[in-house]
Structure 1
Amino acid sequence: MNKDRPKYRQIIEAAVEVIAENGYHASQVSKIAKKANVADGTIYLYFKNKEDILISVFKEKMGHFIDKTVKAISEKETAKEKLLTFIQMHYKQLSESPYLAIVTQLELRQSKPELRAEINKVLKSYLNVIDSIIKQGLEENDIQTDINPQLIRQMIFGTLDETVTTWVMKSQRYPLIDQAEEVHQLLTKGFFK
């Protein structure tokens, strides 16, 4: 089935909202269909099951997120500038999509190993963007070489992940983007020269 068709998009957008509002386990396919304004059976023309919908939501949204982020950081020169832009884009895009923030921070934490494996495949391309910034920083001798690059990646990812989760848990009561500069400063003081 062609994924560029409007109904596919409608279902993806509806799924983000329904899953954010009800939680993954309480989000029946029928609720998603109703929100998307399509018949229940139409969902199965595009997706195998509810798990496939969740994974597809993540793939679609993360793909779009990565494309915009890569474009924005490519306009910067140094690894330090790229990292700041990366942080800003991460916060900006999730701030603009509060339902997506809820889904990524809470509902994607699934315990089913098969589902986790699929989510991790998608996450890999996001982590590759962080790795490219670290690699540039190492090549330009801006990042300390005595710190394991995987640990640096974990610190960047973990910090962003935790700050967004806290923002979601506090009902998004403050502008997430306001933390970008401070988070950048905290991270760069840790491993940049």
Structure 2
Amino acid sequence: MKKSKPKYKQIIDAAVEVIAENGYHASQVSKIAKKAGVADGTIYIYFKNKEDVLISLFEDKMGLLIEKIQEDIRLKSNVEDKLFSFIHMHFHQLAQDHHLAIVTQLELRQSNKQLRLRINNILKPYLEIIDQIVQQGIQEGVIDENIDSRLVRQMVFGTLDETVTNWVMKEQKYDLVKQAYGVHSLLINGLMNKEK
């Protein structure tokens, strides 16, 4: 499988850096190849084109984040802890790799409709984790059952996304991971079943 080959990872990691530093449109395949230490033609063994590189790097990095979140929340029993873990891991992953944060928050926002559809498909398992946490919260009576779960998903994702985008735009001048506490408090207080 392509993804298990060492050069695939080299190219993905190089692409994250090159796209973050130059922007998607100014990142030629030759720049990515040079950064990865491979010949230009090697890129095309693994990827169809530059768009495929962008989608693949998002799929690769998002897949790792989803795995880590699923492992961590499996160890938590209550909804509040699961939601905090979800938020904390999202922020931690992007705080650890500012190039990746720039790519996910700025460069993945392409106007190309096909690209957006592919990105949305990659996001589905991530959004399903939010749905699972919300459903558990409703079943346990912790989250108000009258709240539209699709709206909750949008609000949770939107809040995390905007928090990271703001941090990127402010050139990472503050601790993103510390924002997890405030974001968690805001979300959990908004979702709570007030009768409990």
Q: Distance between the aligned counterparts of 1:189 and 1:11, measured in 2?
A: 43
User: One-letter code of the match for 2:191?
Assistant: F
The residue that corresponds to 2:51 in the other structure is 51
User: One-letter code of the match for 2:160?
Assistant: L
Task: Say if 2:146 is the partner of 1:146.
Answer: yes
The residue that corresponds to 1:181 in the other structure is 181
Give the TM-score of the pair, scaled to structure 1.
0.98
The residue that corresponds to 1:63 in the other structure is 63
CA-atom RMSD, angstroms? 0.7
Give 1:178 deviation, angstroms. Answer: 0.8
Q: Distance between the aligned counterparts of 1:38 and 1:171, measured in 2?
A: 31
Give the TM-score of the pair, scaled to structure 2.
0.97
Q: Distance between the aligned counterparts of 2:114 and 2:152, measured in 1?
A: 27
Mark the runs of 5 or more structure 1 residues left unpaired by the alignment: none
Give 1:192 deviation, angstroms. Answer: 1.4
Matches within 5 A, 1:158-169: 158-169=158-169
The residue that corresponds to 1:83 in the other structure is 83
The residue that corresponds to 1:16 in the other structure is 16
Q: Distance between the aligned counterparts of 1:168 and 1:68, measured in 2?
A: 22
User: How many matched pairs?
Assistant: 193
> Over residues 134-191 of structure 1, what are the superposed CA-to-partner deviations in whole Å (9 max), with x where a residue is unaligned?
0110111110011100111111000000000000000001110111111100001111
User: One-letter code of the match for 1:96?
Assistant: Q
Q: Distance between the aligned counterparts of 1:128 and 1:29, measured in 2?
A: 33
Q: Distance between the aligned counterparts of 1:176 and 1:73, measured in 2?
A: 20
Task: Say if 2:67 is the partner of 1:92.
Answer: no
Instruction: Report SS of the residue matched to 1:3.
Output: helix
> Over residues 47-85 of structure 1, what are the superposed CA-to-partner deviations in whole Å (9 max), with x where a residue is unaligned?
000000000000000000100011111111111110001
Q: Distance between the aligned counterparts of 1:93 and 1:125, measured in 2?
A: 17
Give 1:42 deviation, angstroms. Answer: 0.3
Task: Say if 2:125 is the partner of 1:125.
Answer: yes
Q: Distance between the aligned counterparts of 1:158 and 1:189, measured in 2?
A: 16
Instruction: Report SS of the residue matched to 2:60.
Output: helix
> Over residues 5-39 of structure 1, what are the superposed CA-to-partner deviations in whole Å (9 max), with x where a residue is unaligned?
11111000000000000000000000000000000
User: One-letter code of the match for 2:26?
Assistant: A
Identity of aligned residues (%): 62
Q: Distance between the aligned counterparts of 1:15 and 1:93, measured in 2?
A: 17
Task: Say if 2:37 is the partner of 1:37.
Answer: yes
User: One-letter code of the match for 2:36?
Assistant: A
Mark the runs of 5 or more structure 2 residues left unpaired by the alignment: none
User: One-letter code of the match for 1:38?
Assistant: V
Q: Distance between the aligned counterparts of 2:113 and 2:136, measured in 1?
A: 34
Instruction: Report SS of the residue matched to 2:4.
Output: coil
The residue that corresponds to 1:134 in the other structure is 134
Q: Distance between the aligned counterparts of 2:125 and 2:156, measured in 1?
A: 15
Runs of 4+ in 1 over 4 A off after TM superposition: none
Give 1:2 deviation, angstroms. Answer: 2.5
Of 33-42 and 135-144, deviating more is 135-144
